[in-house]
Structure 1
Amino acid sequence: MKKTILTGASILALSMAAPAFAQSVSDIDQAGNANSATVGQTGSNDSDIDQTGDNLTATVTQSSSGNDADIIQTSQFNEAKIVQSGTNGSADINQNGDGEDADKRNQALVTQAGDSADAIITQEGADRNDAEVNQNGNSFAQILQTGVSQEAEAWQTGDGNDAFITQNGNSNQVGNALNASAAGIVQTGDDNIASVDQDPSTFSTAGINQLGNDNDATIRQEQRGGAGAGRSDAFVTQNGDLNNAAINQLTDDQPARQDAEIIQTGTSNTATTNQYGQDNEANVDQNGESNESTVTQQGTKAFATIDQDGTGNKSTATQGNPSGTTQLQNLVVVQDGTDNVSTATQFGSENSANVFQDGNRNTSTVTQPGFDNDVVGLMSAGINQIGDDNTSTVTQRANFGLVTVDQVGDFLTSTVTQSGATNSSVADVDQFGSNNTSTILQSASQATGPGREMTANVLQDGTGNISDISQTNTLGAPPVSDNLAEVDQSGTGNFSDIDQDGHANTADVTQSGSLADSFIIQSGSNNSATVDQSGNTDMSNINQNGSNNIASVTQGL
């Protein structure tokens, strides 16, 4: 047997060659008075705490391995806490500001339980900054606060979530930090992106709540002015996958109050609100798939509510005038079905438009650049569509106009245009059945003669009926045109054409048969034309030029 004797030098050499055990590193630097730093490490982790000031408190607790924590505190009454229980996590807290006392500290809390989570908190400025990051998964969160009375939150459960919060100003709040309620940026799922930027947005609030995967939400609020000169509220709730929401609220130095809320439940919905001016409010609620909503409000006292429940619906609403002369716009759009399209543009003053669509592939267009226009209808819907493939277009360029459009059926088409000096004109269209078409044109020029208080009423129930009404005044005074045109079609393939020019002309057409044609031309004052067609292939032609003429035609007795 051969014996081997190890000398002391040999033992030392072997010990140096052996692998080192995992170890943690903690570095604490304190300069000032009454500072407190506490570090608890289990595993192989790194911690660095730098305190310069008075009454500073820092706590780091790390378990597992590969975690890195860095806390930098200056001034006084700052408090920071980092807890990491995963692997390869990174957390940085940088506090540079003064708390008032032990009860009003600048606070920061980072809790990470997962792998490769990354959190950065930077608080600068004065008075009562709060920040909280709570991540359970592989996510990234960054909070930057500069100012007073600010609070921020970010809860992320899942992997691949990103949250960014930046607040510059006073009285800002994304959520109620370090509190169980009023959460801001809560993401539960994977690969969600949320960003909040308030610059400086005096006494503003913001919130983002995403439950699902691959959702994207952005809130930006930027108001400028002195104390009491602004208020902004914004909230986004998305419950589903692949939803996209953006709230942008900007204003100038004038006092401004802006509210925006986006709630999306479903998949692949997109909603965007842009608000400028004062006293704006926008509410978007989408419950379905692939719905798109865009709201732009410029001016003062605008109001918009859009509710889309279905698939592939698209709504675009623009209210207000950049010139600053607009106020009191009002819009309500409700779409329930598939592939419905609503476009509303309102400029001028005191406009109101309500759109209701129930069915598939319906199209509604409202344009109101005039003054004190109103589009109203059945069930408070200016354009009410029930059925499939209906189209309604309303254009109001005159003042004080009133339009009502109700469509119940399929492939119905209505076009109403009020322009020029046709102030206080009224157009009412009721369509039932299928493939019916109605066109109303009310126009006048101030140079040739105003056309105030024109009235056109169309009722269609049947198939393939066509009504065309044109009202104007080129004959001068009196300023009130007061032309009246009424069409009632309940048959098949009927055609009615009414042209009125002048004052107090009356035309009344009733078609209850098939393939009847009626033509009425009135130029002058106080003319009256009545047509009643109840047969098939009837033809009527009335031409009135002058005053006080009366014509009556009855066909199909």
Structure 2
Amino acid sequence: MKKLILTSALSVLALVAFAQSNTSTTNQTGSNNNATVTQTGTNSTATQTIVGDNNTTEITQSGDLQTAMQTVTGNNNEAYTTQSGNENYAATTQTGDLSKATVTQSGSFQQAYVNQDGTGVALNEATVTQSGESQLANVDQMGAGNVANVTQSGLDQVADVDQMGTGNTATVMQDKPWEGIGGNSAVVYQNGDGNNADIHQTEQWNEATVNQLGVGNDAIVDQNTPVKDPEIKNIVTIDQDGEGNYAKAWQDGTRHIADIDQIGNNNSATTEQWGTDEVAPNNTAIVYQEGNDNTATALQSGMYNDFVSIRQVGDENEAYTTQENDGAEWQNPNNEIFIEQTGISGLVTVDQSGNFNDAFVTQGGFDNEAVVDQHDGSYMNVATISQVDFPSNSFAKVDQTGSYNQATILQDGVNIGSTAEIYQAESGNVASIHQNNQDNYYGTSSAMVYQNVGTTNSVATINQDVLGSANEALVDQFNADNVNATINQSGHDVGTATIQQTGTGHVGTINQYGLYTPLNTAVLQQGASNNTGTITQTGGGNNALVQQNWP
């Protein structure tokens, strides 16, 4: 009888083994459980199974073929695994109550899985730290206070964190300082409540995916790839579904791809991509936002071949994009920006420097504003702004410096007063503004083209087909030769058209076609010699002034 009691007591004591062929097994069922296994040297294995009450378990193994497994089912759980060098493997499973799990593995072929389920209190927390060689870590937590932290260093990391409900937070940090092929990948999926995800990866083949569905969403990814190899790129994908969303992807190196997808509530998205690779930078940033307080920012800095696409569907949209292009002309450094907004009071700003840049902005709704700035010696840039459907009280502006640039502004739909401005400097530029009103609404529209400082061989066209009074069109071409300007106005009541050209060899044309009793005014002023000016007006009460050899 005494022998039986002694055996039962031993089952709850710490089991310590130092044999070189190490194996250890601990099974406990109830009360104040505490289990410890410590093993050093060679063929290690340790297994613990504990079922209930005030659990604490711990496995420490050093050297050679370690494997460690811990399974705890209920109450005040904690579980620790520490393994050092060689063929590590660790699995921890905990189900209910105050969970905590820590796995630390160093050197060689680590893998670690932690699964915490959490019915009943379950203040889940999991930390996995692995160092050098072929890491893989998987953390899976279901409910309550979830926190997960994975840190992996050196070589072929993969990390997968899956958290379902309540206090979610996940941090993955991976590092590959060793030479060689391969490297990081991280996936975090979080389902509900206080979500946050932070992924930090450095050097080579980084990929990161974050999916978050509900409530406090926040996601930040930071990736770095300094390797000059056309096959090496880092990829970021962030999906967020609802409420306080915020997403940021920072990428440093070359050949980046970032895809951010946000559906509802307080959305904000930021991607920054930096790269100096002369072979094939090819940075891509795509942001899609569906509804509520959207903001999107994309910044790209590098050699060439950068691409930005932002699509915003509802509510308080704003989009800011910057591309800095350092590519040489022989590299065909073509950067592109596409922005689409639908809603009210949308704002778009585009800032591009360098050559061969393209910017396309589309806005649907009213009270929208779009500004495209292409500068710093820009060459053969294209900018197009389309404000459609209900562009009333909308504002569009294109500012280009350099030669052979093209700018087009279209304001089309129920147009009760809109403003369009194009500014171009230097030679060979083309500017075009179209303002149309598809319904029987009255308003005032304004269109201005300024082509100054050596804008030789430039062309400017303004078409206004807007019902209303006091429509204004102005083309100002100064200090240039051989420029061409055309203004066409049609509609009701009052229109004012002015063309001012200094230099020689200019062509200026103003056509005003009015319904009912228009009171149109046309002013055509041309300087120096060999200029041609034409004014055509229909209706009564019109005024026309032509001045040549002006001022």
- Could you tell me which residue of structure 1 aligns to residue 473 of structure 2? 484
Give the letter for the 1:33 counterpart.
Answer: G
The 3 A distance-change label for structure 1 pair 479 and 509 is closer
Give the secondary structure class of the aligned counterpart of 1:210. strand
For the pair 1:355 / 2:346, whether they are aligned, the reply is no
1:537-552 counterparts in 2 under 5 A? 548-552=542-546
- Could you tell me which residue of structure 2 aligns to residue 509 of structure 1? 499
- Could you tell me which residue of structure 2 aligns to residue 240 of structure 1? 225
Give the letter for the 2:203 counterpart.
Answer: G
Per-residue CA deviation, residues 327-362 of structure 1 (Å, 9 max, x unaligned), is 244556555447x9x9x9x9x934152636251799
Match 1:187 to one of 166, 171, 175: 175
1:152-551 counterparts in 2 under 5 A? 152-158=148-154, 170=166, 172=168, 174=170, 184-189=172-177, 202=193, 204=195, 206-212=197-203, 232=217, 234-240=219-225, 256=243, 258=245, 260-266=247-253, 278=265, 280-282=267-269, 284=271, 286-288=273-275, 300-302=292-294, 304=296, 306=298, 308-310=300-302, 327-330=316-319, 334-337=323-326, 349-353=344-348, 355=350, 357=352, 359=354, 372-375=367-370, 387=378, 400-405=393-398, 407=400, 409=402, 424-429=417-422, 431=424, 433-434=426-427, 452-458=444-450, 462-463=454-455, 480-487=469-476, 491-492=480-481, 504-509=494-499, 511=501, 513-514=503-504, 526-531=519-524, 533=526, 535-536=528-529, 548-551=542-545
The 3 A distance-change label for structure 1 pair 266 and 434 is farther
- Could you tell me which residue of structure 1 aligns to residue 9 of structure 2? none
Name the CA distance, whole Å, in 2 between partners of 1:480 and 1:74: 79
Per-residue CA deviation, residues 164-201 of structure 1 (Å, 9 max, x unaligned), is x9x997173638xxxxxxxx4333339xxxxxx99997
Match 1:42 to one of 24, 40, 46: 40
Match 1:133 to one of 128, 131, 134: 128
Give the secondary structure class of the aligned counterpart of 2:148. coil
Name the CA distance, whole Å, in 2 between partners of 1:224 and 1:261: 17
Q: CA deviation at 1:373?
A: 1.0
Matched residues, number: 488
- Could you tell me which residue of structure 1 aligns to residue 79 of structure 2? 80
Alpha-carbon contact 1:354-1:383 (below 8 Å) kept: no
Give the letter for the 1:133 counterpart.
Answer: V
Show structure 1 runs of 5+ residues with no match: 1-20, 100-105, 176-183, 191-196, 226-231, 243-247, 313-318, 417-421, 441-449, 469-477, 541-545
The 3 A distance-change label for structure 1 pair 257 and 382 is farther
RMSD value over aligned CA atoms?
8.2
Per-residue CA deviation, residues 188-236 of structure 1 (Å, 9 max, x unaligned), is 339xxxxxx99997173625141239x9x9x9x99868xxxxxx26251
Name the CA distance, whole Å, in 1 between partners of 2:457 and 2:294: 39
Name the CA distance, whole Å, in 2 between partners of 1:280 and 1:42: 52
Give the letter for the 1:481 counterpart.
Answer: A
Name the CA distance, whole Å, in 1 between partners of 2:494 and 2:60: 87
Alpha-carbon contact 1:484-1:504 (below 8 Å) kept: no
Alpha-carbon contact 2:402-2:427 (below 8 Å) kept: yes
Per-residue CA deviation, residues 136-167 of structure 1 (Å, 9 max, x unaligned), is 159xx9x9x996284735141149x9x9x9x9
Name the CA distance, whole Å, in 2 between partners of 1:37 and 1:334: 59
The 3 A distance-change label for structure 1 pair 382 and 403 is farther
Name the CA distance, whole Å, in 2 between partners of 1:152 and 1:240: 25
Per-residue CA deviation, residues 90-134 of structure 1 (Å, 9 max, x unaligned), is x9x9989529xxxxxx5735142159xxx9x99997567473514
Give the secondary structure class of the aligned counterpart of 2:175. strand
Name the CA distance, whole Å, in 2 between partners of 1:482 and 1:532: 19
Give the secondary structure class of the aligned counterpart of 1:349. coil
The 3 A distance-change label for structure 1 pair 350 and 504 is same
- Taking every aligned residue pair, what percent have the same amino acid on both sides? 31
Match 1:553 to one of 532, 547, 550: 547
Per-residue CA deviation, residues 388-428 of structure 1 (Å, 9 max, x unaligned), is 699x9x9x9x96314252737259999x9xxxxx9632315
Give the secondary structure class of the aligned counterpart of 2:475. strand
Name the CA distance, whole Å, in 1 between partners of 2:457 and 2:519: 28
Alpha-carbon contact 2:353-2:378 (below 8 Å) kept: yes
Alpha-carbon contact 2:531-2:548 (below 8 Å) kept: no
Per-residue CA deviation, residues 468-500 of structure 1 (Å, 9 max, x unaligned), is 9xxxxxxxxx9742222234679349999x9xx
Show structure 2 runs of 5+ residues with no match: 1-17, 179-187, 228-237, 278-282, 305-310, 328-334, 410-414, 434-441, 461-466, 488-492, 511-517, 534-539
Give the secondary structure class of the aligned counterpart of 2:271. strand
- Could you tell me which residue of structure 1 aligns to residue 463 of structure 2? none
Give the secondary structure class of the aligned counterpart of 1:148. coil
Alpha-carbon contact 2:446-2:472 (below 8 Å) kept: yes
Q: CA deviation at 1:288?
A: 0.9
Name the CA distance, whole Å, in 2 between partners of 1:276 and 1:483: 40
Give the secondary structure class of the aligned counterpart of 2:219. strand
Name the CA distance, whole Å, in 2 between partners of 1:385 and 1:126: 61
Name the CA distance, whole Å, in 2 between partners of 1:168 and 1:411: 55
Give the secondary structure class of the aligned counterpart of 2:249. strand
Alpha-carbon contact 2:95-2:116 (below 8 Å) kept: yes
Alpha-carbon contact 1:508-1:530 (below 8 Å) kept: yes
Give the letter for the 1:304 counterpart.
Answer: A
Give the letter for the 2:298 counterpart.
Answer: I
- Could you tell me which residue of structure 2 aligns to residue 98 of structure 1? 97
The 3 A distance-change label for structure 1 pair 429 and 385 is farther
Give the secondary structure class of the aligned counterpart of 2:396. strand
Alpha-carbon contact 1:208-1:236 (below 8 Å) kept: yes
The 3 A distance-change label for structure 1 pair 482 and 463 is closer
**TM-score relative to the length of structure 2:** 0.50
The 3 A distance-change label for structure 1 pair 350 and 189 is farther
Give the secondary structure class of the aligned counterpart of 1:551. strand
